[in-house]
Amino acid sequence: MAAERDYRSRPSRRTLLKGALGAGTAAIAAPMIVAPQVLGLDGPAPSARINLGMIGLGVHGHGYNMMSFLQLEDCRVAAVCDVFADRRKLSREAVDKKYRATGCREYADFRELLAAKDIDAVCISTPDFWHTPMSMMALEAGKDVMCEKPTLTIAEGRPLVDLVATKKAVFAVGLEDRSVIQYYKMAEWVRNGAIGKLQTIRVGLQPGTAFKKEDPAPVPPGLNWEMWQGPAPEHPYSPTRTDPQPWRNIRDYAGGKFADWGAHLLDTANVANFAELTGPVEAEGTGEVPKDSMSTMPITFKVRYKYANGVEMHVESGEPSIRFEGSGGWVGNMKWRGRLEASKEEILRIKYPPENTKIWPMPPSEHRNFIDCVKARRLDPTYNVEQGHRLSTTMHIGNIAIWLGRKVIWDPKSEAFVGDEAANALRSRPSREDWKTKA
């Protein structure tokens, strides 16, 4: 089993990237491939090579997602799209070099890529505020979708879940944690009772950064600034606004570092607590929004969650870390993919037979899992749209508690705050529609 690799080692970032680029070469168990016609579903035949379109070609979109898909023999990156001309060129050249051909197409407008009949599926690696609108347009165009985490608001998540079901599409959230042995093993041990009854979860998340305000500047050649903004509020262009770290700290575009790093570690927390389809029921917290800064999200924060089963989760800005404390011990790690530690060494040696464990098999990578699901028309990838929506909601609840500066009570069934008009008003926000005619 892949889950029995040496999870106590601490690889370097270079090693991790090399591993990510080679992901998918060793699967836990090869799925049985069934023709979609047998299941009464549309889609490519199992033997077909999946034609993939890449939308968003920044560091993660190009260096991790696209390069990972390029390692898979049964899919082909057929088109690349970005609002930056230089990114499109760089990615197209990398694809053509890999395939020793010149067939990869460039698109400046993702709508043209979605209209291409030969594209079976897309991978969306844009800023957060584009995730749901772009995913829904892709689904309407008949594409299967892998999209990076998270949503921008609570309210936009349920329509996305519903559309995926209506279209009978494969939708996978791009979040590697469930393919990372350290986090998989922690969730498995906790779900199977290795630390007794779970009581408390402690999570550290990387803090944000206070970026200086910038004066408006001319839009550089090769950038479609109107398309970059899309449904977000209009704002003058400035030099670093489109860089990943600044936009992640701007409320118009993302949920801050709380939602960025939280998407990783809070997913492991929800999974370990059997809450991946529900999430917490209560949150309260505080945070610091820097003054006179381009950053408009809290850069430091402290949030306490409570789940329906009584488990509490304490999240605080600092070094990325996670620790599960139970009636019979604890398990956790410090730093991203850090060495696993436990109250007793024997916890780290526990292995569960596949037929007895209370968690699904660990996929070799989210990219391999997505392509397998597209080919077999398996509509429930390891990280599906419902679980992605619940994870995003968990983080949005925390941010809303920070904004309000008080406790909020959440009902996972109705997906609303209980008796709290102010909190419920923050579940959504207006978005621009005129970009469609301007861009």
Could you tell me the CATH number of the domain that includes residue 49? 3.40.50.720
Q: How far apart are CA 269 and CA 266, in angstroms?
A: 5
Q: What is the CATH number of the domain that holds 262?
A: 3.30.360.10
317 shares its domain with 195 = yes
What is the count of structural domains for the chain? 2
pLDDT at 46: 56
Is 254 domain-assigned?
yes
154 shares its domain with 244 = no
Q: How far apart are CA 368 and CA 66, in angstroms?
A: 12
pLDDT at 437: 92
Q: Which residue, 178, 207, 225, sits at the end of a domain?
A: 178
67 shares its domain with 107 = yes
pLDDT at 44: 57
| pLDDT in 10s for each residue of the chain, 439 residues | 333 333 433 333 333 334 333 333 333 233 333 434 333 445 556 568 999 999 999 999 999 999 999 999 999 999 999 999 999 999 999 999 999 999 999 999 999 999 999 999 999 999 999 999 999 999 999 999 999 999 999 999 999 999 999 999 999 999 999 999 999 999 999 999 999 999 999 999 999 999 999 999 999 999 999 999 999 999 999 999 999 999 999 999 999 999 999 999 999 999 999 999 999 999 999 999 999 999 999 999 999 999 999 999 999 999 999 999 999 999 999 999 999 999 999 999 999 999 999 999 999 999 999 999 999 999 999 999 999 999 999 999 999 999 999 999 999 999 999 999 999 999 999 999 999 998 8
Residue 263: φ, ψ to 5°: -60, -30
152 shares its domain with 269 = no
86 shares its domain with 198 = no
Is 403 domain-assigned?
yes
Burial code of 94-117, b = ≥16 C-beta within 10 A, e = fewer?
bbeeeeeeeebbbbbebeebbebe
Q: How far apart are the first and last CA of the chain?
A: 49
Q: How far apart are CA 49 and CA 73, in angstroms?
A: 8
Confidence (pTM): 0.89
34 shares its domain with 174 = yes
Residue ranges making up the domain that contains 85 = 29-178
pLDDT at 43: 52
pLDDT at 29: 31
